[in-house]
Structure 1
C-alpha cells in the first residue's frame, strides 16, 4: 500500500517533483497538486478519504468506504471526527486556496511522512523508503544527528519529545490525531481528536467498569476481523493480552476457525507454553508452536530497506517477524496481536510510586501488603514459603524502598537525607538490607560478574551535544489537550515514540508479508474508559489489571486469569539471539565505516566483551544487548541510505 503526493507553490518546481501516474492505481492530478495511491484495497478496517476540490467546485475523491463531496474544511473535519478512529488517513487539497490538509488517526496505525520547504513545496508519503529513493528529494535526506542520539541512548526513545523528528534532517512525521494544514503562507498543526470520558464519569465500582470494558473490547476484536470470508491467526504468547484477544475472538465467532501461534524457545524464563495451551484447551483453536527464524541480521537488513529507518526493536526482530510468514503460509489474511495491551489497559501499579511520591505512607503500606503474594523476587529466597507474612512483607518493602532511593540518588544530599529520615520514621528502613545489596553489587563488579553499563556508547562529541528544545509536537501532551492533568502519565505510557514507531513498522511488515496486523487494544473507546478507572480498582488484589481481568472472567482460562507473573526477555533467550546477531553481523561491522562516525568503537568492543562473559547474569546484560543490537541496526540503515542515494531515480 502506498499513498504519495506533492503540492508545489513555485511554478518552476512542477516538473522537478512530477510523479509518474503509471506508478499508481489511482490518482488525482491538478495544476499544482498530485496524489497517487497503490493497493489501498477496500478494507472497512482501514478507511481512507483522499479528496480535492477544484476551482469550479468539482470534487475529486479516492475513498474506500463512502462517496462524499468535500467542498469545505468543515465537512472534512466532520468526517474526520465522526470516523471513530477507523479513518486512518484523510487528505484534502483545496485548489482555490492552494491549501493542503493531512490527517492521521489517534494511534498512527499507518505512517505519513512529509518534507515541507515553506513557499516551495510539500511532498508526502506513507513510505520513508520511497522518499529515500526519490532523486528529487536527495538534498533533504541527511542523517538527523539528534534522532541518532535519542535512538542510541538506553530507554531514551521511551521518553516523549518532539514527535515530528525522523532519522532524516528535513523529513517529518505527521503526529497521530492531528491535522497538518499547509499553504504558500506557511503551515499549522492542530489536534483533531477529542475524548468523550464523561460518559463514564458516574462509574466508581469494579462492577460498573468491567461489563463496559468487556463490551468495548468485544466490539474492537469483532471489528478487527469482521470479514468472515478471511482466515484469521492470532499470536498467543500465553500473556493476559494475547490470550484475551484469542479468547474473545472465539467467543464472538465460535464457528470460525482460529489459528493460534506460539513462539517456542529453549529459555526456561521465556517458556509460557503452559498458559498458551490452557487457552487452546479452553477455546479450541488450531494451535501451532513454531521456532523463530535464526536469520537475524538478514532480517534487519530486509526491514531497514522496507522501513527506510532503523529497526525499533531493541533485540533481534526475528521473534516478531517469524509470525507473519507463518500465518500467511497457513492461508491467513489477518494476524491478531495483543500489542499495546499493557499501556492501554493500565496495571494500577502506579499507585505504589504515587503513594511514595505523595508521602502517603499508610496507603503505601496497605498496597504493598497486597503485593506480597505476587512478589517477583520470591524465587530468590528458597525458604520464601516458610517465612511469616511479616518477614515476607519486610522484604517486599525494603526491595521497593531500595529501588526508590536508587532512583533518587541524584537529588541534593540534604533532600535525600531528609527523605530517608521521613521514610525511616514512617516505615522503617533496613540498613542491613540496603548495605547487603549495595555491598553485593560492589563485590560482583570487582569479580567481573556484574556490570554498570553506560546509557550510551556513542562518541563523546555526540553525548555532549545539548538536548534540543521541544519545538514540535510532544504527542502525549498535545493529545491530552485540556483533559485533567492527572491523565498525563497515562497518555505518556500509550504514546511513547517507540510504541508508535513499532505500530508503524508492524504495518509495513504486514504489507510486505501480505498479512494484516490487527491490534484490538488500539481502540479509542477502550483507551477512554480505562483512563477513567481509578488506580485502586486496577491494582485490585495486588496482581494489577483487575478491571480487565474481571471483564474477561468466565472467558479466560483459570491459569491465565490468575497469573501475576510475566515472561522476561532478560533471559538466556535474549543472550542467545544477541550473540547470534553479533556473530552474523561481525564482518559487516568491520567493513562498515559510517556507523563508527557516531558509535565509539572502543566502547562497543567493551560491550561485546560483556556480551561474551558467561559470568554476568542476564538481567545485567540488558543494556549490553541494547547497545550491540542498536549499533548493528544503525549501521544497517546508514549503509542502506548511502547505497539508496547512489541508486536514486
Structure 2
C-alpha cells in the first residue's frame, strides 16, 4: 500500500512499470500532481485503486490493454469491494452469486465484427474496470471515464518507411527489455510466426548482450501437419540458439477446461482450448521461469497494412490500386486460398484477375446495391476496362458470388432457445467502444482492432494462468509506446509493396532469420480446433444431455444437434467449420461452468 497522509490519499496496485523514470510507488504522487491524466502518463501494466479521503471517492484504473484485471462490486449506500480476481469478491457474503444471462448472449453469438470489451462479467452485480479507463465510486453512484489519449507527437515528423521501421525497432526492443528486467529465467512463446519470432529473437539478442542466461522458448506441437511450423522454429533456433522446448497440448481437454473455469472464474474463451497455454505454463514452472513473453495478437498492433487497398478505393486511385494488387499476388509463396481454393495452380494472370475482383468486386456490389441493373453493369464494364479484366473472369466472379450466397444463407450464428431470445434487451453497459473517439482522424488503425473483448479476455486469462503457475505473462506488442507507433504508421508503410507487416520486416531484419522476414504464410488451426471440439463433445455430452441441465434454458436442443452434426460431418470442408467449432466449444464451456457454479453454490 502507498499513502500520502497529508493529502489523505491511499493506493494499492498490481503494477509492472516499463519506464526507468517511473516506479511502482508513484501512483499517489502522480495522482496528487496530475489527477486522472496521471494514468495516461504511465507506461505500465497496472490495476490500481486509490482512496481519496478528501472527496470520499474510490478511484480504480487499468492499463490501456487490460493486461492486469480489476473487478468490483458496488452497492450504493452499502459497500464497494474490488479485487484482481473475481473469486475474492465471490467470497464476500453480501455478494449474490448469480449468473449474468445477458453476458451469455454476447458469449454465444458468432461475431461478425470486433466486439467491444464490456464492464459486464458472467456474474450479476460484479463488474470489470474497462481498459484505458478510470472508475470513480462514491457512496451514491459510480462513473466511468476514458483516460487514454495516445501521444503521437514523436511519430508526426517521420517521412519514409525506414524512419517508421527504425522507431518501431527502438520502441519494441525497449519493450522487450523492460519486461525482462529483474527476471532470473525468461521464457517466450515461439510458434515460428512473425510475432512470436520477433519477441523470442529480440529477447535472446538482448540477453546475450547482457551476459544473462538464454531465453527458454516454447513451441506447441499438435501432431497435425496443418499446424506444423517447425521449419520456421528451427530457423530461429539455428540463428540464436535459445534453450528450446517442444511441448504437446495437455491431453485431457476436459480437465483443462475445468482448470480454466477454476482459475478464471468464468467459462473458457477460445476455440482452441487453453490446454495450449496450460502445457507451456506447466513446463515453464518445472524449469523455473518467472516470466513468459508472448507475441499474442501482435498483428492487431503492427498490422498487415492491407487496408491500404481500401484507402486507394476510397480515393479512386485506380492506377495505384492496380499496382498494389499486382504486388500482392506476385509475392513468392503467396497462397491466397480465401480468394480461390485452387490458388497455387492458377496462372499469374488468373491470380491477378481473381484478386482484384475480390478486392474491387465487393466494393462495386456494396456501392451499387439497389441501383438499376443498367448502372451496375455499366460500372462493372468500366472496372473491366480499367483493370484489364477478361469477360470470363468477371462472369466467374459473379457466378461464385451467387453460389456462395446460396450456400451460406443458412449459416448458424447462435443456438438460443425461443425462451432465451425473448429475454429483455440487456441494459447498456460501459464498453471500450468510446476509446475510438480519443484518436485523431489521421490515425489509420482503429482502436477496436486492438482493444476488444477477445484480446482483453485473453490477457486476463493468461494473467490468471501465469499467477497460478508462478510466472508473469508479458506482452511486448501491447506496450503503450509500441501501440502508439502502430496507430500512427500509415497503411502504405505496413503494406510494404504487398508483403504486409512492413514495420517488422524492415525494423527487425537484422535480428530475425531471413526465412522469418520473408514468411507470408500462417499456420491453420481449424483442423485442430475441429478435433478439440469433437473430443470435448465426446467427453461431456452425457454430463449435460439430461433435460434438466441449465444449458437448455439458454440453448435450443435441435439447433445444438445441427451444430454437432456439422462439426462431426467429414464431408464438409474443414475450412467451413470454424464458426461451428466455435459455437459447439462455447456451448460446452458454458454448460461446464454452469455445472460447477451450481455445485459451488
Question: What's the TM-score once normalised by structure 1's chain length?
Answer: 0.82
2:72 partner SS: strand
Pick closer, same or farther for the CA change 1:442–1:211 going to 2, 3 Å.
Answer: closer
Matching of residue 241 in structure 1 with residue 195 in structure 2: yes
Q: CA deviation at 1:594?
A: 0.6
Paired residues for 1:91-110 under 5 Å: 91-110=49-68
**Higher mean C-alpha deviation, range 430-439 or range 204-213:** 430-439
Change (3 A) 1:231 1:491: same
Contact 2:329/2:352, CA 8 A, preserved across alignment: yes
Aligned to 2:356, which of 393, 397, 411? Answer: 397
Q: CA 1:70–1:119 in 2, change beyond 3 Å: closer, same or farther?
A: farther
1:209 is matched with which residue: 139, 160, 164? 164
Instruction: Return 458-467 or 183-192, whichever deviates more.
Output: 458-467
Distance 1:118 1:416 in 2: 60
Whether the aligned pair in 1 keeps the contact of 2:43 and 2:480 (CA below 8 Å) is yes
Q: CA deviation at 1:413?
A: 3.0
> Which residue of the partner structure matches residue 298 of structure 1?
255
Residue aligning to 1:598? 554
| Residue 376 (structure 1) aligns with | 336
Cα drift, residue 69 of structure 1: 6.0
Q: What is the DSSP-based 3-state SS (H/G/I as helix, E as strand, rest coil) of the residue aligned with 1:89? A: strand
In the other structure, the counterpart of 2:122 is: 167
Matched, 1:348 2:302: no
Among residues 542, 552, 559, which one is paired with 2:508 in the alignment?
Answer: 552
List aligned pairs for 1:555-594, cutoff 5 A. Answer: 555-570=511-526, 572-591=527-546, 593-594=549-550
Mapped to 2, the partners of 1:518 and 1:72 lie a distance apart of 25
Distance in 2 between residues matched to 1:417 and 1:266, nearest whole Å? 54
Structure 2 counterparts to residues 483-498 of structure 1, below 5 A: 483-487=439-443, 489-498=445-454
Query: How does 1:64-213 map onto structure 2 within 5 Å?
Result: 65-66=24-25, 73-74=32-33, 77=36, 79-86=38-45, 88-138=46-96, 141-155=97-111, 158-160=114-116, 163-213=118-168
Where do 1:233-382 residues align within 5 Å? 233-254=187-208, 255=211, 256-356=213-313, 359-373=316-330, 374-377=334-337, 380-381=341-342
Q: 1:595 to 1:356 in 2, by over 3 A?
A: farther
Deviation at 1:593, TM superposition (A): 0.8
Question: Is the alpha carbon distance of 1:182 and 1:562 closer, same or farther for their aligned partners in structure 2, counting shifts above 3 Å?
Answer: same
Secondary structure at the residue paired with 2:116? Answer: coil
Distance 1:99 1:342, change over 3 A: same
* Secondary structure of 1:540's aligned partner: helix
User: What is residue 55 of structure 1 aligned with on the other side?
Assistant: none
Q: What's the CA shift for 1:361? A: 3.5
Inter-partner Cα distance in structure 2 for 1:400 and 1:75: 48
Q: Residues 299 and 67 of structure 1: is their aligned pair in 2 closer, same or farther, counting only changes over 3 Å? A: same
Question: Residues 110 and 155 (structure 1 numbering): CA distance in 2 closer, same or farther, change over 3 Å?
Answer: same
Q: Distance in 1 between matches of 2:470 and 2:373?
A: 55
Distance 1:440-1:68 versus aligned 2 partners, 3 A rule: closer
Distance in 1, Cα, partners of 2:355 & 2:545:
47
1:194, distance to aligned residue in structure 2 (A) = 2.7
CA contact (8 A) 1:375 1:396 kept: no
CA contact (8 A) 2:364 2:379 kept: no
Mean Cα deviation higher: 218-227 or 584-593 = 584-593
3-state SS in 1 of match to 2:477: coil
Match of 2:174 in 1: 219
Distance 1:626 1:569, change over 3 A: same
Residues 11 and 50, structure 2, Cα contact 8 Å, conserved in 1:
no
How far has the Cα of 1:525 moved from its partner?
0.7
Separation of aligned partners in 1, 2:493 and 2:26: 45
1:19 aligns to what?
none
Q: Please give the alpha-carbon distance, in whole angstroms, between the structure 2 residues aligned to 1:611 and 1:112.
A: 36
- Contact residue 340 and residue 519 of structure 1 kept, 8 A: no
Residue matched to 1:433: 396
Give the CA deviation at 1:108: 1.0
Structure 1 residue 113: Cα displacement: 1.2
Other structure's SS at 1:198 match: coil
Contact 2:444/2:488 (<8 A) preserved: no
Deviates more, 1:215-224 or 1:101-110: 101-110
SS of residue in 1 equivalent to 2:244:
strand
Give 1:9-28 correspondences, 5 Å limit.
Answer: none
**Whole-Å separation in 1 of the counterparts to 2:394 and 2:470:** 58
Structure 1 residues 472-503: Cα deviation after superposition (integer angstroms, max 9, x where no partner): 4331433x444323537520100011111110
**RMSD across aligned positions (CA):** 3.3
| Aligned-partner SS, 1:541 | helix
The structure 2 residue matched to 1:512, chosen from 465, 468, 471, is 468
User: Over residues 266-300 of structure 1, what are the superposed CA-to-partner deviations in whole Å (9 max), with x where a residue is unaligned?
Assistant: 32221111001101111111112121112111111
- Gapped regions of structure 1 (runs ≥ 5): 1-25, 50-63
In 2: Cα distance, 1:109 partner to 1:72 partner: 21
Q: Among 453, 467, 474, which residue is 2:431 paired with?
A: 474
Deviation by residue 1:301-352 (Cα, 9 ceiling, x = unmatched): 1111221111121232212221111111122111111113111111101122
Give yes or no for contact 1:451–1:616 (8 Å, CA) kept in 2.
Answer: no
> Is residue 417 of structure 2 the alignment partner of residue 459 of structure 1?
yes
- Cα distance in structure 1, aligned partners of 2:195 and 2:396: 36
Change over 3 Å in CA distance of 1:375–1:383 after alignment to 2: closer
In 1: Cα distance, 2:402 partner to 2:175 partner: 51
Aligned residues of 1:233 and 1:327 also touching (Cα < 8 A) = yes
**SS at 1:92 equivalent:** strand
Residue 468 (structure 1) shift: 4.6
Per the normalisation by structure 2, the TM-score is: 0.88
Give, in angstroms, the shift of residue 79 of structure 1: 4.9
Q: Output one character per residue of 1:2-24: Cα deviation in whole Å (capped at 9) or x when no partner.
A: xxxxxxxxxxxxxxxxxxxxxxx
Q: Distance in 1 between matches of 2:364 and 2:262?
A: 44
